[in-house]
Amino acid sequence: MSETAGILAALFFIIANAYYPAKIIAKRYRPWPKEMSHFFKQYLKAHVTLNLLAFLLVIIHGHYSEAEEQNILLYISMALTLWLTIAGILMYYQSPLGMDKRRLRLIHTQQVVFALWLFFIIAGHSLG
């Protein structure tokens, strides 16, 4: 159960977040034709849906994992996943708390947070 959920979550996270490098590369070729803008609009929907599904799977994955496989690095990666997911939800569905959208964007799309998120996932799993 834990292993299947973990593999599926990783797969969803990879597909969902390839959005980021894809957009960095595509930005070099601006102005975009209509098809490209349409593609990224659709890809953003996949980014949102797959990240939300992956988040649920990751909770199952962690919950059913062996206690001795858990470590502080994986707890930090879980906290970062929660942080990124909440900021993403607030940004995508327009913050009901009246928070500044530009600030939310900054929180959610920080390269450093993204790099740390990857680091803690990889380092935490190599410890186990």
Which residues lie near ligand HEM (CB under 6 A)? 17, 20, 23, 44, 47-48, 51-52, 81, 84-85, 88-89, 91-92, 108-109, 114, 117
8 Å CB contact between 59 and 36: no
3-state SS, residue 107: helix
CB of 50 to ligand HEM, least distance (A): 9
**Cβ count near 99 (within 10 Å):** 14
In single-letter form, the type of residue at position 26 comes to A
Q: Which residue is nearest to ligand HEM (CB)?
A: 88
CB of 102 to ligand HEM, least distance (A): 11
The Cα 31–Cα 58 span in angstroms is 38
- Give 70 or 92: the residue with its C-beta nearer to ligand HEM: 92
CB of 84 to ligand HEM, least distance (A): 4
Q: Helix 2-17 and helix 34-63: axis angle, to 10°?
A: 160
- Give 2 or 43: the residue with its C-beta nearer to ligand HEM: 43
- Give 29 or 67: the residue with its C-beta nearer to ligand HEM: 29
Distance of CA 75 to the CA centre of its chain: 16
CB of 117 to ligand HEM, least distance (A): 6
